[in-house]
Each structure stands twice: as structure tokens, then as C-alpha cells.
Amino acid sequence: MTAGLPSRPARVTVAGVPLDPFTEQQTVEWVAAALEAGEGGHLVTPNVDICRAVAGNPALRELVSAADVVVADGMPLVWASRLLRQALPERVTGADLIWSLSAMAARGGWPVYLLGAPPGVAARAAWELADGCRGLRVCGVDAPPYGFDRSEEGVARVREKLVEAQPRIVFVGLGFPLQDRLIAGLRPHLPHTWFVGCGSAIAFAAGSVARAPLWMRRTGTEWLFRLASEPGRLARRYLVDDVPFATRLLTRSLLLRR
């Protein structure tokens, strides 16, 4: 345990991924305590799709396991934990954390940075977040071009802009595993900064991608809303890959419970 941080409960392993049994509020409080102590970190929000990718790749499993905070962004993971009698308290999504962490950053005077999303989207998200979180300072946005990570020059440009801005929280919305591999390389250059791998959260904050109604988020049916909104992009991911994986996960969890 890092000095200055509270004790934490043991992680709960679901689908081979160790998860912190934190609520959204506890997650925010943990990051705030770390920032107050001058500590940086890496926050990951695995969903079913990330767990499926991790299941067949030890390197990705290590990438997620090594993060400082790992919270479940997927109701099937919460359901499976309950079947295993190691209940996670709730689903904690990147789309919600971008708001609650920004509100916390505004109160603490910590600048934030948005990295990812298509051109113009991060700038719009910055405006929305600053408008919704009084006092928030967004010290920079960056929408690197597709394939930037394939060259050292592309990564160096992203790193130089980020280091110049000196944020304390960086929301990285580049998709897993790209965003989290990039975070692993950036952390040594900003050791007092928290990096949050947040997937589509920047686009959600900007309003360029609609979120499902609250009742769908709470009942684990948000994926149906997203599938209906973007069938061409998400049909294979959800119907061919994720639903069968979630079904197997819940079946195994039920059998282990019995």
C-alpha cells in the first residue's frame, strides 16, 4: 500500500481479471487520495470485450492486472461476481467516471487532459465537461491520427504535447489495448499523473455518441442500445464475440456456485 492511501479490500477475480470491489464514489475517492499524496496511477475499466481479449492473451492480462485501479465496466462481470459469492458492489463505467473524476478534479484544482476521439470531438467534450464541472481546467486535448502508434515519431508527438501540458488526470479514449499500452509508456514521463483508459467516454461526454437510457445501463441492456445505434460497427463484436463469452462466463460461475 502506498503511503498516504487508505487500505483497500482484496481484489475479486472474474473471467481471469482481478477487479477492485469499488463503487464509483470509492474509485473517485481513491484517485483523489492518490493525487493529494502526489501519486500517479493507471485506471482500467474492463468490460466483457476486454475480458474476452485478456482471456486469450497473457500479456494483456498482465497489462490490466498491473493497473493501480481496475473496476468492472460491464454488468455480466457484476452478475458473475455475485454468483461466485464475491459480489462487486456495482458497475463503474468510464463514461460515468469522466464526469465524476472531472468534478473531483475541479474541486481539487487539478488540470485534466483529453487524449483520443475523432478530430473536434475531444474539444467539444472539453467544453461540455468544463461547462458541467464548475472550475474545471482542461489543459489540453489531442486527437492523434489513426496509426500514430506505429512510429516512434507519432508516439513522441503525443508524449511531448502531454508533458508540456502537465495534467494531473488524463482521459485516454483510444480503445483497448492501444490506450493502455500507450499509458504504460507515458507514465514514467508523468509520474504524478493519473491515466484513465476510458474507451468511448470522450465521445459520450461530447454528445457525439448517445448513451442508453439510465434504466438500460442499470439492467445490463445498454449493449442493445449501442448495437441498434451502430450495427455496422458493433454487430460482430457483440453478437459473435461478447454475448457467447458472457454466456459462458455466467454459466461457469453458476456451476462453480453450485
- The list of the chain residues with pLDDT below 50 reads 1
pTM for the predicted model, two decimal places: 0.94
Q: Which fold has domain 12-206?
A: Rossmann fold (3.40.50)
- State the pLDDT at residue 1: 44
Per-residue H/E/C for the chain? CCCCCCCCCCCEEECCEEECCCCHHHHHHHHHHHHHCCCCEEEECCCHHHHHHHHCCHHHHHHHHCCCEECCCCHHHHHHHHHCCCCCCCCCCHHHHHHHHHHHHHHHCCCEEEEECCCCHHHHHHHHHHHHCCCCCEEEEECCCCCHHHCHHHHHHHHHHHHHHCCCEEEEECCCCHHHHHHHHHHHHCCCCEEEECCCHHHHHHCCCCCCCHHHHHHCCHHHHHHHHCHHHHHHHHHHHHHHHHHHHHHHHHHHHC
- State the pLDDT at residue 45: 97
- State the pLDDT at residue 3: 55
